[in-house]
Amino acid sequence: MFLTSERPASAYELRGKYKCTECGKCCESSYHLARHRRSHSGEKPFECTVCGKRFTRAEGLVRHSRIHSGEKPYNCHVCNKAFSESGSLNCHLRVHAGEKPFKCHVCDKAFSESSNLGVHMRVHTGDKPYKCLLCNKCFSHSVNLQQHKRRIHSNRRPYHCPYCGKLFVVNSELKSHVRIHTGAKPYSSRDCSECFTSLNQLKRHLLKSHNEGTWFTCDICQQQFSTRAELNLHSLRRHAVVKPYVCSECPKRFCTAAELRLHHLVHSDIKRFSCGLCDKSYKFPLSVVNHFKKCAAELGFCNV
């Protein structure tokens, strides 16, 4: 028998065998190297079969799929609110603790998440790093870009209301819409007993009644708004020289793409908004909402 001083290579030494040619980073295995290379190529091989969203990693798709399945394994021990990701639960717990550790050095506004502070800073810098390759429109947040692609450049609307059948691009819009039917008010003020159906309504209440938060002021007329989205819409409607969205069927012009899409229904014979309780259909979403309330009352349903 011959003795040898050779020993198996350690995991640290083996990492050198899986080296990225783009940036020189060493990985522990060929699998990790292949996954790392996607950060350079932009490849997203894992696609959601429900909404078409793509991911670079399988675990990202698994977490995302909980949105559609409704699986929320992480529960808040204070209010029992459930979350699909542990990170979302940790951020939520700061609401109960009142923690806002991330503070803007320009206006002193504080946030419970560092990502929200990063997005907020673009208010001061004007930075819009996310660009739509189809129409060159720029956005300050990647989520806004993805929603823009689905609303403007895609006909996919995978989320439908179980009450009236209205279709939505993103799940958050569906959740907000369903409250019209259920009357739920999940947003409560910590300073009083008032409750609200949307976060924007709560923010507006806190600003007006408790002087909490930051107003967004129009530079032209000094009118104040509780959200930047409301300020932007006000600027388009009141101060814009040109309404950029033109109907292809008539001379009418509109301030937003959503207003133009709603107007297009005037020129169509399609009635795609159906009542979930009877066989009636309508062109406009508001029409089916109003009808549904009457229909539900006649059939003896509550909380609509």
- Retrieve residue 64's tokens: 């995302």
Spatial separation of the C-alpha atoms in residues 154 and 141, rounded to whole Å: 19
Cα distances from 24 to residues 15, 128, 243, 279, in angstroms, run 11, 30, 50, 63
pLDDT at 301: 62
pLDDT at 79: 77
Q: Where are the domains of the chain?
A: 100-156
Spatial separation of the C-alpha atoms in residues 55 and 61, rounded to whole Å: 6
pLDDT at 12: 47
- SS3 per residue for 85-101: CHHHHHHHHHHHHCCCC
Our CA dihedral for 27, 29, 34, 40, rounded to 10 degrees, sits at 0
Element (H, E) at 138: strand 138-139
- The sign of the torsion formed by the CA atoms of 55, 58, 63, 64 equals positive
pLDDT at 78: 77
Spatial separation of the C-alpha atoms in residues 261 and 167, rounded to whole Å: 13
Cα distances from 233 to residues 26, 86, 251, 297, in angstroms, run 49, 35, 21, 35
Our CA dihedral for 176, 177, 182, 186, rounded to 10 degrees, sits at 10
From first to last of its 304 residues, the chain has per-residue pLDDT tens of 344 444 454 544 455 578 888 788 888 888 888 888 877 777 888 888 888 888 888 888 888 887 787 788 888 887 778 887 888 888 888 877 778 888 888 877 788 888 788 888 887 888 888 888 888 888 888 878 887 887 777 777 788 888 877 788 778 888 888 887 888 888 888 888 888 888 888 888 888 888 887 788 888 898 888 888 888 888 888 887 778 788 888 988 888 777 888 888 888 888 877 777 788 888 877 888 888 888 878 777 654 4
**Taking the model in full, what pTM does it have?**
0.42
- CATH architecture for residues 100-156: 2-Layer Sandwich (3.30)
Cα distances from 25 to residues 32, 34, 40, in angstroms, run 11, 12, 12
Spatial separation of the C-alpha atoms in residues 296 and 302, rounded to whole Å: 8
